[in-house]
Structure 1
Amino acid sequence: MTPETFSSWQVWAFLSAVFAALTAIFAKVGVEGINSDLATLIRTVVVLITLSAILFATGQFTQSGPISARSWLFLLLSGLGTGASWICYFRALKLGPATLVAPIDKLSVVLVALFGAVFLGERPSAYGWVGIALISAGAVLIAVKG
């Protein structure tokens, strides 16, 4: 792999999908026998420690300038959304099989497309909307026929 490979958003998005898949499998096993909220807390602490170590090790913990109030607000809202998502995800994994929970969770892809169009003015192509519809249909088929 070349250095340019790691500046590609597609590579990072694919790696995100791989790690999200592993997260579902590891979390399903890890949540057995403990409260799902405690499992979420443990996961959150691990994420916090790991990311802090990466930022310190790479010298990225310093800020190049002030962070605007708007950035703080939306990062706070994003953090609250992440926390709520993780709590719901772990509770779903506690109650159901990972092979059914994960596809429903991935309906977030569909919701991002819809919210992006409504709130950000993003306009997926016709092929993009077909793909979004197929993701929706696939998640529903897996959940209903699972």
Structure 2
Amino acid sequence: MADKLDTCARELLDVMPLVMQDLRRTMRSHASPDLRVPELRSLAFLRHSPGSNLTDLAEHIGVSLPSMSKLVDTLAYRGFIDRQSDPDDRRRVRLRLTTDGLSVLSAAREAVKTAFAVKLARLDAGAIETVTTGLRLLRQLFDGSLEERGTPRETEAAGA
């Protein structure tokens, strides 16, 4: 079992950079050539975490606060995000996606989805089903929902 886990982990490590490289390339060339990938990632984060502050966003994107502040200024200037005072702490600012921000993000996601579908079309139906199942399992694993249900071993032990 340890060998299978090691192989699976290695495959995941090897494929993630390839997927991200393709995603970035597609976003740059087709989706929103006027938006950089960190800007699109920021919009995506705010779509899933509305009301986040500058620190939350900087930590997620992996940049310094001054860099994130500049990026947020640009996004706000372009009308893609709104800044709102935090009612509990006036020194903090909450960030939210605007309708225009959601629109540009949706267009970017659609372009990437289309590009991925073109690549996936090279696979037969069985392989597509296998990939889809694997991706759903990875989502559950990384979003924490698989841990909440318990790993298969914990579930088996509880029933034994």
> Shorter-chain TM-score category?
under 0.3
Larger radius of gyration: 2
TM-score of the superposition, structure 1-length normalised? Answer: 0.27
TM-score by length of 2: 0.25
**Structure with more helix by fraction:** 1
Which structure ranks higher in relative contact order (CA pairs < 8 Å, sequence separation ≥ 6)? Answer: 1
